[in-house]
Amino acid sequence: MSTKFALPPFLLLLLGLWTPPSLNAVLAQQPLGFTTENQPPKLVVAITVDQMRADYLTRYAKGFGDGGFKRFFNEGFAGLDHHFSYAPTYTGPGHASIATGTTPAVHGIIGNNWFSRETGSKVYCVEDTAVQPVGMAGIDPGTAGQMSPGKLHASTWADEFKLHFSQREGAQPKVMGASMKDRGAILPAGHAADAAYWVSSGQFISSTHYMESLPKWVRQFNKSNNLEKLLAEGWSLRDAPESYAGSMADNTPYEGVWRGGERPTFPYDLLALEEGNGGQDIIKGTPHGNTLLVDFALAAIDAEELGSDDVPDVLALSFSSTDYVGHKFGAHAMETEDTYRRLDDQLSRLFDRLDTQIGTGQWTAFLTADHGAVTVPGLEKNRGLPVDYWNPEPMKAAVYAAVAARFGRSDIIREYDNDQFFLNRAVLRQEGIDADEVARFVAATAAEFPEVQKVMTAADLRGSTYLEGAEANIQRGWHSLYSGDVIVMLKPGYLEYSRTGTSHGSPYAYDTHVPFLIMGPGVPQGVTYTRTEIRDIAPTLSALLGFPRPSGCTGKPMPALFD
Ligand SMILES: [Zn+2]
């Protein structure tokens, strides 16, 4: 008998001669999401569908084929109680939270725009005056190209993926983001991305954060007539009108009308509507915007050779047109259902190409949304539901007047933005007024309005940890440096918006409940109704593929995928 085995295990463990069998087993195992050749998938496709409510998967299912949304159910995994765990549920925070595995309280993207105490004006979530536009020569002078992920204060899963799978010498993973929207392209791709492209005046552009000039293939794509052909097609229903069982009639008072259009009804002559609706950018508000994005993605896969070798790549696509259509027509319009049928076709086209070009079983894709949307309040109100539109002006006027009367100055409130009051800290200091006292007074005044559910103050959010419900969502969306001093939470179903179409932003289920779908090597086939959160996506990917969690990650791998 050797002395090695004569010693008790704890001593062997101390001497480094023995490791527990369970640890050995774990270390010997390849990451669950590797291919049968023990390699990472050649390409990870990260899909965000802008404004996709969870119920669209079921309500629109009859119009879906087998190759798009349904392919995830047939081959992969679906999280069917998947939620945002913060508010405000807007596009910028949504994409940032998917990418970083945390919430605005940590990553700092607290809105699409927000009031900056530093500059005294509104800032945009991806604006960056330190970078220059790329690819905008001769078009759309302005700031459309001055964008970067500089305001995102955490690493993304793609950042960690890129470093982890980089070879010591030689190839590095390529990471690319693309979307109609700048924030939809930039935030998912992360800080270390090779490229992000978004659309302005019908052209895919970028910024000097990524490159000095557009690659030749992007210039060629912009010169091609893909966009013109799609616009010339116009927009008519893909299928017979009576098949749109998930929608209301084509012409309802809850739908918006394009400038120059008469009714919200099919067919739409897009060339005739171009003028007055953003020129060629009208494509963003039609399902053709999604088609153009897949055209662009396929061109990128070819030209950048994404997924062509053993060094894995990332392609992050955000389909924005669903959001523009939802904002104009609402969650129960035939236009919205048709947009999803056509998106389903485009997903199928994309996945088929990945199979033939990269290989079946060699790629991984996930799909989620950046927020949901409320049912058009006018529609629900007419059906007797306790909802309505919200105009904050009377509340603001009451609060401003009450604060001036109580504290003797009319400039104590500096700004009202994103349902938040920002106090004028300089004035409070000068007058020796306690900020928490003012905040409590503002909260009590605002809370008298019947549309208001609750008003929370910075002191509430600093002093307590809310465990569930809307209050917890508000807290996880509240950044201690950037957010306001008093936060107004409306009752469920109340919306500050036009009387047609819909919007989002609340901490409630209609805005937080979105799909999570994933398929690829090692992903089990199944569904779970156990609650999962948006911030769980990044750590799930990192557990699946064995790379580190993003720097600010507060989510956790979804147990149903690993147990
Ligand atoms: Zn959005």
3 state SS of 129: coil
Cα torsion 340, 342, 346, 352 to 10°: value is: 100
Question: Residues in the chain, how many?
Answer: 563
In this predicted structure, what is the pLDDT of residue 484?
98
Which part of the chain has CATH 3.30.1360.150? 391-450+452-490
User: Per-residue pLDDT tens for 173-230?
Assistant: 999 999 999 999 999 999 999 999 999 999 999 999 999 999 999 999 999 999 999 9
Question: For 381, how many CA atoms within 13 A lie in the half-sphere containing its CB?
Answer: 15
In this structure, which topology does domain 43-381+504-562 adopt according to CATH? Answer: Alkaline Phosphatase, subunit A (3.40.720)
Q: Ligand 1 centroid vs 223 CA: distance in angstroms? A: 28
- Is it true that domain 391-450+452-490 has CATH number 3.40.50.620? no
Which part of the chain has CATH 3.40.720.10? 43-381+504-562
Tokens of 154: 């955490």
Q: Ligand 1 centroid vs 81 CA: distance in angstroms? A: 19
| Mean pLDDT calculated for residue range 31-44 | 95
Q: Ligand 1 centroid vs 28 CA: distance in angstroms? A: 42
Burial label for 435, CB within 10 Å (0-12, 13-18, 19+), is: middle
In this predicted structure, what is the pLDDT of residue 24?
63
User: Per-residue pLDDT tens for 467-516?
Assistant: 999 999 999 999 999 999 999 999 999 999 999 999 999 999 999 999 99
Q: Ligand 1 centroid vs 315 CA: distance in angstroms? A: 19
CB contact at 8 A, 347 and 515: no
Secondary structure of the chain: what % helix, strand, coil (to 5)? 40, 15, 45
CB contact at 8 A, 314 and 44: yes
- Phi, psi (5° rounding) for residue 217? -65, -30
Active site (annotated) includes residue 156: no
| Mean pLDDT calculated for residue range 348-376 | 98
Helix H or strand E segment including 540: helix 537-545
Burial 4-30 (b: 16+ CB within 10 A, else e): eeeeeeeeeeeeeebeeeeeeeeeeeb
Please tell me which residue in 89, 91, 102, 291 is annotated as part of the active site. 91
